[in-house]
């Protein structure tokens, strides 16, 4: 055969050999040893444990009730029952070990995420009553008048 045909062949063989050698060093020891289940063993066994150890950021109000029973009671019996504590306070993963990590946000923006008037159709307004940021008690914090854990909607 002519050289110009053979040369690319050697290059290809060399490449495959290099990949096989590299694979020996790069593939983790516990790759594919977990039997041929639905992924055909195509994953790293220790990855399962890594995900089990992954810290869950959001805890849910079931954990808050242990120490903040009053807040949970109040929230559960209010129009805000469907809103999670951590929706307003942020993820409780390191709380209460580091209390500062759960800062209290009293800005209007916190509430306007859900209550800003966006001109949606009427049905959406019924889901979360909407107010106009510019018209509704401008420049005052919402929680001056509304209890975030028990909003009434008819505060005086």
Residues at the interface with ligand HEC (CB under 6 A): 59, 61, 63-64, 66-68, 71-72, 75, 79-80, 82-83, 85-89, 92, 95-96, 99, 102-104, 106, 108, 110-115, 127-129, 131, 136-137, 140, 142-146, 148-149, 151-156
Choice between 22 and 67, CB closer to ligand HEC: 67
Choice between 44 and 146, CB closer to ligand HEC: 146
35-65 burial, b if ≥16 CB within 10 A, otherwise e? eeeeeeeeebeeeeeeeeeeeeeeeebeebb
Q: How many CA atoms lie within 13 A of 112 on its CB side?
A: 18
Say if residue 27 is exposed, middle or buried (CB neighbours under 10 Å; 0-12, 13-18, 19+): exposed
CB of 30 to ligand HEC, least distance (A): 35
Q: How far apart are CA 65 and CA 45, in angstroms?
A: 37
Choice between 32 and 91, CB closer to ligand HEC: 91
Choice between 5 and 56, CB closer to ligand HEC: 56
């Amino acid at each position: 055969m002519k050289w110009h045909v053979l040369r690319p062949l050697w290059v290809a063989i060399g490449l495959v050999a290099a990949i096989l050698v590299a694979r020996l060093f790069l593939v983790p020891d516990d790759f594919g040893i977990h039997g041929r289940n639905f992924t055909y063993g195509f994953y790293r066994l220790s990855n399962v444990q890594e995900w089990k150890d992954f810290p869950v950021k959001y805890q849910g109000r079931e954990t808050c009730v242990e120490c903040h029973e009053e807040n949970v009671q109040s929230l559960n019996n209010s129009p805000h029952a469907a809103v999670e504590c951590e929706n307003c306070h942020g993820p409780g993963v390191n709380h209460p070990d580091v209390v500062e990590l759960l800062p209290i946000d009293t800005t209007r923006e916190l509430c306007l995420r859900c209550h800003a008037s966006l001109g949606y159709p009427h049905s959406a307004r019924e889901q979360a009553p909407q107010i106009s940021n510019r018209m509704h008690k401008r420049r005052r914090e919402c929680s001056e008048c509304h209890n975030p854990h028990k909003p009434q909607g008819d505060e005086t």
